[in-house]
Amino acid sequence: MREIGHGAVGVQGDVAELDDLDRLYARIQRDHGRVDIVFANAGVSESAPIGSVAEDHFDRVFNTNVKGMVFTVQKALPLMSVGGAIVLAGSGAGSKGFANLSIYSATKAAIRSFARTWTADLKDRGIRVNVVSPGMVLTPAMQTYLQDNAGAEEWMLQTIPFGRLARTEEIAKAVLFLASGESSFVGGEELLVDGGFVAV
């Protein structure tokens, strides 16, 4: 949290556990009284071909990525005022077919749908809901994956028109745009930040 700075406060919890979300928002209400922006970005990714998908795999991914998303947003609403913004973390995987990622991809497709339907649900409150969907991003976890999987980076670079992975700050800038007044007339949209991967 010290690295984030700017008065950031960490509240540990599991988005799939509603009591943890209640504790989070009680803390926010106590300390700040309101929520201006929600960036719902908790998520997990696990892979399995359809013939090997187990119930616990399905439950883990859907509980975090779908149930967690729904109740993270729902429980924030009483603290949000007119003109707030909600940014949901999607993925290019929600729009493209990847082997072994059917469950994860389905959760990300659901998130795209949430942005559209929640925009309609919240129109009378002026709360904008959008999705930022990264492609392949050079995070520490991705660096470990590339080191452990020979040929993966070469494949990625060949499939991304821009010829490189995204930098984390590029994703952050997209989130900031959707959270700010700069996107005041943008609602129900999915902003792909993937170097053209899904489009091409």
Q: Which residues are catalytic?
A: 104
Residue 189 is encoded by which pair of tokens? 């949209």
CA geometry: angle 176, 185, 168, nearest 5 deg: 20
Amino acid identity for residue 150 in this structure: A
CB proximity list for 182: less than 8 A, separation 6 or greater: none
Contact 166/132 with Cβ under 8 angstroms?
Answer: no
DSSP symbol at 77: G
Strands across the sheet containing 190-193: 35-40, 80-89, 128-134, 190-193
